[in-house]
Each structure stands twice: as structure tokens, then as C-alpha cells.
Amino acid sequence: MNPTASLMCGRHRLDLSYPRVMGILNVTPDSFSDGGRHVALDDALRHAERMLAEGAAMIDVGGESTRPGADPVSPQEELERVAPVVEALVRELDALVSVDTSCPEVMRESAALGAGMINDVRSLEREGALAAAIGSGLPVCLMHRQGEPRDMQQAPRYDVPIEEAVADYLAARVAECEAAGLRRERLLLDPGFGFGKTVEHNLRLLHRMGRLSELELPLLVGMSRKSMIGKVLERPVEERLPGGLALSTLAVERGARILRVHDVAPTVDAVNMTWAVLKEGC
């Protein structure tokens, strides 16, 4: 079980003594499964409101697509997409908002607007990101990846077992963050399913995810609607929910404390049912 029972996320305390669900809110025109659906502010706000009503503990707002093949956007464009949404979610819904960004400017502005967490697929490696994260005072999720979105799925390979590669990378990033002054108790880890990994890598990584629990930090996992489900089950994006629920259940059993998903209500039920069984053995 994770040693971190709770996280201070700005004004919110996030209880991690049991698994929580994070609702995905992409305000991008080109995300792989819901691009363009929530670009308008009112649409984004209503969708977030629904996810919170369905049991999401937090909303993860992203303004730059990180799907395979995606091109980067400028800091200004990302900020223009994200800032109004963060501000509205905090002001109108008092939501715990996570911001899915690698951009220092977006981190700083989002924290000033009341965001409660930074979720960075590049693990604060972009120039200025580590300093911005430290200055924000917020918890940060560090994710493993190989390559950048535009090329990460072009024949990914590893010289050691995938779980060891991921654990070694994340341990090194944690050490670097701590050395710079970002306290360990503010960190979460994401294995990065689908980010520079084949289907076989992803399946083995989930099977061996207990290896990451040895790092003794809360684990955030995102597999919702991803191509690993489509390739195993031969299902298009809109038919991947049952596979995603199975993966969420397995992730919780292997120590995940936050599940990042598109389909909140069914995932909350699956997670809560899984936890009802697991806690009997605690």
C-alpha cells in the first residue's frame, strides 16, 4: 500500500488512502479520442461538472495533445486554451484541478489561478519546468516516456526489462527533483502506458507494476481508451470501455492510487468494487 495517505493540492486535501479517479478534460482540437469536443469554455465546464458528479476526485486539464504523432504547440497557445478553463473550474465548481502540461509558463499561471496539481508527461525535463514546479508549491506527477509524441511510437525498444527501465528512469527523476528542492512528499509517479512502448511493453509493465511500488510514491495510471486496448481486443476508440475497466481493476490491484480516465462513472464503480475486495485483505 502507498505510504502517502494524502496530498495537499492547493486548497484541497486529496485523500489517497483509497484509489481515486481523475477525469480527463482535453481542451485541444486534436487529442486522440475526444479532440475538439470541449474546446468551448461552456462545454468544458459542463463536462467537468458531469465528471465531478459521477465521482471524479479531480479534473485533469490538458491544452497540448500528446497522442502519438502530435506536434507541439506554443506556450502562448497552450496557455490561451488552458487558463480560462482552470479559472472557471476553480471559481464556479471549486474543483481540484490538475494541469497536464510540460510548459513552465502554463504551470506558473495555472498555479496562480488555483490549480492543485501539475501532471507532466516530460517529468519536468523541459527547460525551466523544474523551477516552475518548485515555485508553484503544488504536487507534481512525473511520467516515464521514451522520445517525444511526434516519434515515440516509431519502433520503441529497451535494453532491459520494461519495468526496470521505467523504475530506473523515475527513480533518477525523483532524485534530481529532490536535489533541486522539490520535496519527495509532493511527488507522484506515472508509468507512462503508451508513451514509447509497444503493446507487449505495456502489458508486461502492468503485469509487473508492483516493481514501481518499491519507489514508495503514489502511482497515477492512464490507460483509458488507449491503443493497447484496441490492438488486443480489435476495438475502435469508442468501444474500448470494457477493456479499460479491466485494466483499471488490474492497476488498482497492483497499487495504483489515481486512475486517469475519460469514462468516470463506470470506472468509479469498477475501482470501488475492486477496493471493497482488496481492503478486506489489509
Secondary structure, 3-state, 179-191: HHCCCHHHEEEEC
Please give the Cα distance from 89 to 80 (Å, whole number): 15
Asked if 186 contacts 133 with a C-beta cutoff of 8 angstroms, the reply is no
Does the active-site annotation cover 279?
no
Handedness of CA 167, 276, 241, 34 (dihedral sign): negative
* CA distances in angstroms from 232 to 72, 155, 198, listed in the order given: 29, 18, 12
Please give the Cα distance from 152 to 163 (Å, whole number): 17
Q: What is the CA radius of gyration of the chain?
A: 17
H helices within 95-226, ranges in order? 104-112, 129-136, 162-180, 199-207, 210-213
Q: Are strands 117-120 and 97-100 parallel, antiparallel or unpaired?
A: parallel
Q: Which of 20, 67, 225, 260 is catalytic?
A: 260
Does the active-site annotation cover 37?
no
**Grid cell in block for residue 140:** 507534481
Q: Which of 226, 240, 257, 279 is catalytic?
A: 226
CB atoms under 10 Å from CB of 108, counted, come to 17
Catalytic residues: 226, 260
